[in-house]
């Protein structure tokens, strides 16, 4: 039986981070190498569209395309538009048929169940990225983290920790007994201890 999970809480959590971000923060670095905050937000904008289409299987003419990663392409109304797209993504994945059969995302054909798990992992992990880059607290739901670990873990083990092309970089070592969210973040090639550089224009609150 296909296992499904509601993307809504993770989508709302990520969307809720955006209102506190001033335009002056868009050039700040993020835990994602080679992405400043504007590029990361553009990526979230694109993946929200791509994975909503993957759920409905209503793909654009010519097939899906990889989500963009370009700071210059970030829409001007991103604080309003990205939350709308995240809501649409979450709603699309509530349909049982979204998790069935084959679909496509980022130019890759894959089973609906895997696409649903990729979408959840993208939202949870990039939510952490945005929160860390802007000094905001972030605490994902235990069920979300468990689902992401169950999806990411086998891929990381199969790769020998060297990373999964197109998804995440080489795994980072964490201490035994690390919190589940820290283990997930480390598996996806990020340092759970990453913090923004001094002088951030965002008022920082220590993350949990």
CATH number, domain with residue 56: 1.20.120.450
> In the structure, what pLDDT confidence band is assigned to residue 1 with cuts at 50, 70 and 90?
low
**pLDDT band with cut points at 50, 70 and 90 for residue 149:** very high
Average the pLDDT over 154-158 and give the result: 78
Least confident of 10-14, 52-56, 87-91, 170-174: 170-174
Work out the average pLDDT over 175-189: 94
Note whether residue 184 is domain-resident.
Answer: yes
Judged against a pLDDT cut of 80, whether residue 165 lies above it is answered with: no
Residues 34 and 130 in one domain: yes
What is the C-alpha to C-alpha distance for residues 92 and 99, in angstroms, rounded to an integer?
Answer: 10
In a shared domain, residues 153 and 99: no
Domain match, 126 and 61 both: yes
pLDDT at site 54: 96
Band (pLDDT 50/70/90 cuts) for residue 207 is very low
* pLDDT at residue 196, rounded to an integer: 79
Dist CA 108 CA 131 (whole Å): 29
Confidence of residue 198 (pLDDT cuts 50, 70, 90): low
pLDDT at 166: 56
Q: How many structural domains is the chain composed of? A: 2
65-69, 73-77, 82-86, 189-193: the lowest-pLDDT one? 65-69
Quick one: 32 and 72 in the same domain? yes
> Which three-class secondary structure state does DSSP give residue 66?
coil
Q: Give, as one character, the DSSP assignment of residue 29.
A: B
74 belongs to a structural domain: yes
Query: What confidence score (pLDDT) does residue 203 get?
Result: 44
Asked whether residue 134 falls in the same domain as residue 169, the answer is no
The mean pLDDT value for 77-96 works out to 98
Whether residues 150 and 49 share a domain: the answer is no
Q: pTM for this one?
A: 0.90
Residue 205: what pLDDT?
A: 38
Report the C-alpha gap between 83 and 195 in whole angstroms.
Answer: 25
- Do residues 18 and 115 both lie within one domain? yes
Domain shared by 13 and 80, yes or no: yes
Q: Report the percent of the chain where pLDDT is more than 70.
A: 88
Phi-psi region of 63 (alpha: psi -120 to 50; beta: other; left: phi over 0): left
Mean pLDDT throughout 52-74? 89
Is residue 191 within 8 A of residue 31, CB to CB? The reply is yes
Average pLDDT, the chain: 89
Domain that holds residue 179: 143-192
129 and 57 co-located in one domain: yes
Burial of 69 (0-12, 13-18, 19+ CB in 10 A): middle
pLDDT for position 71? 95
Residues 42 and 116 in one domain: yes
Q: Do both 160 and 125 map to the same domain?
A: no
Q: Which candidate, 124, 128, 130, 1, places its Cα nearest to that of 51?
A: 124
């Amino acid at each position: 039986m296909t296992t499904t999970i509601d993307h809504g809480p993770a989508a709302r959590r990520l969307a809720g981070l955006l209102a506190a971000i001033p335009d002056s923060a868009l050039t700040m670095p993020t835990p994602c190498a080679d992405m400043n905050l504007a590029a990361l937000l553009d990526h979230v904008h694109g993946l929200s569209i791509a994975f909503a289409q993957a759920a409905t299987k209503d793909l654009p003419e010519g097939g899906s395309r990889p989500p963009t990663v370009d700071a210059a392409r970030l829409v001007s109304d991103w604080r309003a538009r990205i939350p709308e797209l995240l809501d649409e993504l979450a709603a699309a994945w509530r349909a049982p048929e979204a998790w069935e059969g084959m679909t496509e995302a980022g130019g890759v054909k894959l089973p609906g169940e895997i696409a649903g798990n990729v979408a959840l992992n993208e939202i949870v992990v990039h939510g952490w990225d945005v929160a860390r880059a802007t000094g905001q607290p972030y605490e994902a739901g235990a069920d979300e983290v468990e689902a992401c670990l169950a999806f990411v873990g086998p891929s990381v083990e199969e790769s020998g920790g060297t990373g999964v092309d197109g998804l995440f970089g080489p795994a980072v070592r964490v201490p035994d007994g690390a919190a589940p969210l820290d283990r997930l973040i480390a598996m996806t090639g990020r340092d759970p201890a990453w913090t923004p550089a001094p002088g951030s224009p965002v008022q920082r609150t220590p993350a949990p």
